[in-house]
Amino acid sequence: MGWIGAEGMGGHDLQLAAAALVVAVALCPLALVMFFRALASHGQRRLAWLLAAATAFGTGIWGMALLTHASPVSAGAPVSLALSLIEAVTGALGAFSLWSRSRGQPSFLMLGGAIIALAVVAMHYTGLAARPFPPADVTEALALPGFLQILAVLGGAASLILLLGLVVTMVDVRFVLRRAKEAERLRQLADAAFEGLLIHRDGIILDANTALTTLVARPREALIGADIFDFIALSSHPLIRERLATRPSRIDEFAIMLPDGSRRFAEVLSRPILYGGKPATIAAVRDISERKQAAARIEHLARHDALTGLPNRAKFLDLLRDILAESDETGAFASLLMLDIDRFKFVNGLYGHDLGDALLRAVARRLSAIVRHHAGAAGQLARFGGDEFAIVFPALRQAGAAATMAEALQAALAEPFEIAGQSIEISARIGIAFAPQHGKTATALMNSADTALFWAKRAVRPVMRIFEPAMETELQMRRRMERDLRLAVQNRALDIHYQPIYARDGRTLLGFEALVRWFQKDRGWTPPGRFIPLAEESGLIVPLGRFVLEAACAEAAKWPDGFYVAVNLSPVQVRTDDLASMDVLSKTGLPPSRLELEVTEGVLIDDTERARAHLLALKALGVRLVLDDFGTGYSSLSYLGRFPFDKLKIDRSFVSRLAEDAGAAAIVRAISALANSLGLAVTAEGVETGAQFDLLRAEVACTEIQGFLLGQPMTAKAARRLIQRQRASAWNAA
């Protein structure tokens, strides 16, 4: 470019040429900047940017070409020059708009390049045509004032374009920055949202906020461009696919699969939006895992026993139904075991509820260990509340297997439990029923197992019982009896008979024992030995016992002074009924000294402290306490010292053996002697024969005698007559 330092060129011209060069060189990068702006914008904005970029680029290459050619230009040249400029700009515009649409496609890029090349060739051609003669001397060309003028005009124009471009670019940059700030603010807003927000187009993620990245436990970079199905759990795929196809605006629940394989539950609401000018979908995703968990917890609580975590009755019934439905299909048998712990209430009362709870948990653990480790199909264990457990074995076919299982369970519970420093021994009763023989439905089978358990509980020893149809009929009989007895108590339709009790001489009448009697027209007499236990189980004994006590006291109050009445109290009554606060004595006017209360050892064993307190309260009223049936139960002589008894009744079973059994006679003798030494009276009851009577009189230190030999239980009327006869004979004797 030797022309720059040309001799003939004036300082002014040189500056102008340099300015033109700078402008030309600066225009190309400017054009590039503007092209990229065009790429980043849409619609008319893009068109404007493309036009600006093409103008800058076209002018730039045109100016450069002009300078390099540096040819003298005739006065008529401007038209050709302008035309060549237009060619350059148009070519650039064509290429740029092609490139802006190319999306990196090589064919577009090449085509654009070709257009530019073509435009350059055309521009050169048109521009050369403006020259009247072939290029000669640069100095000469530059020296031409006409050329310089044109160059100055062109330079001015280009500067203007450059300036304009700069201004526009600056404005645009500020606008872009503002947009970026706004976008940043929006992103911050979106990120601050608790809900996950996600924009996708046909399932391909375009954007996501922080809440969503946390929810799906993946970084934003991993999400953008990814498929939404990458993080949706397989189980939710069909639903989401359907929603994508139909695009309804409603809330759906779906499961998210986290990278670690765990799941979360979410709720999603989508609606269409325009994103980057194109339709897309925005989805608001809310984490509902906690809500789901809470619901699951509630469901668990509702269907499981809180103490042991075992299924409860409701859940067990469902399990049983499923098992029965399955065995109905496969023809397999199922066995249902109902288990009840003996005297659990007593343990609870004796050691406290905390220990009772711990015991139940320990029982549940032992049972489930066996049920789970059963060789065949594993059983299902449940707790029905209290001390009742149920177990179903889907495939314990034979009665033998079920019985073996029941024995194993009983043996496991028979081992002492060490809880809170206490060693607790318990036993369990089990009732077993088989499906389908003993019940095809869950409730029928459960009833049968319950019935079997009922009879197992009636046994003396802790046993297991397999259901038999006869159990059912007997149970129904008992239920009917219970209903009838309840009515009889309500209607005071029970009788009381009185059995005389004599002094050791067998002649002096001292009092009577009140014995309840139940007569029904259709059934005749039901002995108390049958209905008293029933009344004790059902709790009916409390009103029944009150009735007997009141009636007997009222009757005895009519007797002359000196004759007492003895009333039997059931252990259940002593435990539950507040007899001491009863006004039966004041109501009937019977002096307390003429009332004896007979209790059995059962009262003392179950809840020693409570029984002691209740008995002491009764004793405080001034009544006498009698220990009944001595010799049948635990026959612990220690009770005699610990409880405030006045009298001991030697049971009939001992008395009846007196004559034959020397051992029994020795025991009766010893007991009587001990009782006497403790200041207790001793009654021998159930004396039926003269031999027994004689033996008692000769060898046993008993103070009173009662039995069929001396008098059967009799009606109140007969008892009154007996008293009168006794008084008359006493009168006669006197």
> Where do contacts with ligand C2E occur on this chain (CB under 6 A)?
499, 515-516, 527-529, 532, 545, 548, 568-570, 598, 628-629, 652, 685-688, 707-708, 713
Least spacing, CB of residue 403 vs Ca ion, in Å:
37
**Cβ contacts of 186 within 8 Å, gap of 6 or more:** none
Least spacing, CB of residue 574 vs ligand C2E, in Å:
10
Contact 395, 376 (CB under 8 A): yes
- Give the nearer residue to ligand C2E in terms of CB position, either 35 or 547: 547
- Give the nearer residue to ligand C2E in terms of CB position, either 63 or 707: 707
- Give the nearer residue to Ca ion in terms of CB position, either 453 or 599: 599
Q: Which does 686 bind (CB under 5 to 8 A by kind): Ca ion, ligand C2E, none?
A: ligand C2E
Cα–Cα distance measured from residue 28 to residue 57, given in angstroms and rounded to the nearest whole number: 5
- Give the nearer residue to ligand C2E in terms of CB position, either 141 or 548: 548
Cis preceding linkage at 436, omega within 30: yes
Least spacing, CB of residue 696 vs ligand C2E, in Å:
12
Cα–Cα distance measured from residue 75 to residue 563, given in angstroms and rounded to the nearest whole number: 162
- Give the nearer residue to ligand C2E in terms of CB position, either 340 or 685: 685
Least spacing, CB of residue 686 vs Ca ion, in Å:
8
Which residues is 434 bridged to in the sheet?
Answer: 335
Least spacing, CB of residue 570 vs Ca ion, in Å:
11
Which residues is 252 bridged to in the sheet?
Answer: 268
**Cβ contacts of 539 within 8 Å, gap of 6 or more:** 572, 576
Strand 422-424 and strand 509-520: pairing? unpaired
Cα–Cα distance measured from residue 701 to residue 487, given in angstroms and rounded to the nearest whole number: 44
**Which H helix or E strand runs over 495?**
strand 495-503
Which residues is 624 bridged to in the sheet?
Answer: 596
Q: Name the residue among 61, 70, 83, 75 with its Cα closest to residue 127.
A: 83
Least spacing, CB of residue 605 vs ligand C2E, in Å:
16
Least spacing, CB of residue 343 vs Ca ion, in Å:
23
Strand 704-705 and strand 681-684: pairing? parallel
Instruction: Calculate ∠ Cα 376-379-383, nearest 5°.
Output: 165
Residues that bind Ca ion (CB under 5 A): 568, 598, 628-629
**Cβ contacts of 442 within 8 Å, gap of 6 or more:** 317, 320, 321, 324
Q: Which does 570 bind (CB under 5 to 8 A by kind): Ca ion, ligand C2E, none?
A: ligand C2E
Q: Which does 84 bind (CB under 5 to 8 A by kind): ligand C2E, Ca ion, none?
A: none
- Give the nearer residue to ligand C2E in terms of CB position, either 243 or 594: 594
Least spacing, CB of residue 500 vs ligand C2E, in Å:
10
- Give the nearer residue to ligand C2E in terms of CB position, either 77 or 552: 552
- Give the nearer residue to ligand C2E in terms of CB position, either 174 or 530: 530
**Cβ contacts of 215 within 8 Å, gap of 6 or more:** 196, 256, 264, 266, 285, 287
**Cβ contacts of 260 within 8 Å, gap of 6 or more:** 217
- Give the nearer residue to Ca ion in terms of CB position, either 536 or 598: 598
Listed in order, strand segments (DSSP E) in 345-473 are 380-383, 388-393, 417-419, 422-424, 428-435, 464-466
Which residue of this chain has its Cβ atom nearest to Ca ion in the complex?
598
Q: Which does 545 bind (CB under 5 to 8 A by kind): Ca ion, ligand C2E, none?
A: ligand C2E
Q: Name the residue among 245, 292, 243 with its Cα closest to residue 268.
A: 243
Rg for the chain, CA atoms, rounded: 55
Strand 263-275 and strand 278-287: pairing? antiparallel
Least spacing, CB of residue 655 vs ligand C2E, in Å:
8
Q: Which does 471 bind (CB under 5 to 8 A by kind): Ca ion, ligand C2E, none?
A: none
Least spacing, CB of residue 703 vs ligand C2E, in Å:
17
- Give the nearer residue to ligand C2E in terms of CB position, either 448 or 499: 499
Least spacing, CB of residue 688 vs ligand C2E, in Å:
4
- SS3 label, residue 583: coil
Which burial class, exposed, middle or buried, applies to 306 when counting CB atoms under 10 A from its CB (0-12, 13-18, 19+)?
A: exposed
- Give the nearer residue to Ca ion in terms of CB position, either 195 or 628: 628
Q: How many CB atoms lie within 10 A of CB 642?
A: 11
